[in-house]
Amino acid sequence: MTVPLDRALVAAHTRWFGGIASPGQRAIPEETAIAFSYNRFGYAVMMASPADLEDFAVGFSLAEGIAACREDIQDIEIVPADNGIEVRMWLNDSRIEAFTKRRRYLTGPSGCGLCGLETLSQAMRQPRLVTSDFRVTAQALAGAIGSLQGLQPLNRQTRAVHAAAFWQPDKGIVAVREDVGRHNALDKLTGALARLGIDASRGAILLTSRVSVEMIQKASVPGAPIVVAISAPTALALRIAEQAGITLVAIARDDGFEVFTHGDRIMFECPAHVA
């Protein structure tokens, strides 16, 4: 049977609450095996939500270093199959030559950001250095966190997926991507920014998940100077964010947050107005 391409399934269930059992329904997110291939060579199989797959393909390729820019991918084809979905990509000649030299197979569960790596050096690869002089007021950043809640339709249905968003002070949230895996959501966002031609150096990435080291590594790919998460970071994520020049904000709510690295990008007092 061909896998569904829907984002969610409405499933019947029995609810027990207050000592009483009653029938009901709940929307639950779809999860599908997504197989990436490049010029017909298989590369990775990830469990993910079957939505925004072209964004996922581009973002994953950039994060893995298979593509250096969106233009390195000449074509993308989405092919539903019996056991999952094939995402077929064709690289230009210069990139496919490099790809064949480093080709590996990867099978990862949803949200897996480092599965299948063969060496410690691969897991601890140096992130891209972010040098943006972008700054933002604390009040504006708190407002960004508050505005994200209403822009997660799949999570509103299911209460079971993560989101990654990109916010700019003058435009608000310009892109949001959701997935059962937090790494997948961030890869999809990276792909969306690349395909839309949005300069990530002038805004902040917002995450509805905890921040582990691979999330910082991935966030450095589009060059985002600020990463904001609603949950706590790991100690290693802090060290890598410091190295990467990324301002890491966590435990974020619409009424406050905690800044851990490169806090000079956050203005805690409104700039004085010149008469």
* Domain ranges for the chain: 32-123, 136-267
Interatomic CA distance for residues 218 and 74, integer angstroms = 22
Is 112 catalytic? The answer is yes
The tens place of each residue's pLDDT in the chain, 275 residues long, gives: 455 566 788 888 887 777 777 888 888 888 888 999 999 988 888 889 999 999 999 999 999 899 999 999 999 999 998 888 999 999 999 898 888 776 654 555 555 555 554 444 555 578 899 999 999 999 999 999 999 989 999 999 998 999 999 999 999 999 999 999 999 999 999 999 999 999 999 999 999 998 988 899 999 999 999 999 999 898 889 999 999 999 999 999 878 899 999 999 999 876 555 44
pLDDT (0 to 100) of residue 36:
92
DSSP one-letter code for 247? E
Please check whether the domain covering 32-123 is classified as CATH 3.40.50.150: no
Rounded to 5 degrees, φ, ψ at 92 are: -75, 170
CATH T-level fold of 136-267: Cytidine Deaminase; domain 2 (3.40.140)
Please determine whether the domains at 32-123 and 136-267 fall in the same fold group of CATH. Answer: no
Neighbouring CB atoms inside 10 A of 172's CB total: 14
State pLDDT tens for residues 82-101: 888 999 999 999 898 888 77
Token pair recorded at residue 228: 């904001």
Give the model's pLDDT for residue 6: 67
Of 191, 225, 219, nearest to 207 by C-alpha is 219
DSSP E strand boundaries for the chain: 8-17, 20-29, 32-38, 41-48, 73-80, 85-91, 106-108, 136-137, 162-168, 172-179, 204-207, 226-229, 247-253, 256-259, 266-267
Could you say which of 69, 112, 115, 270 is catalytic? 112
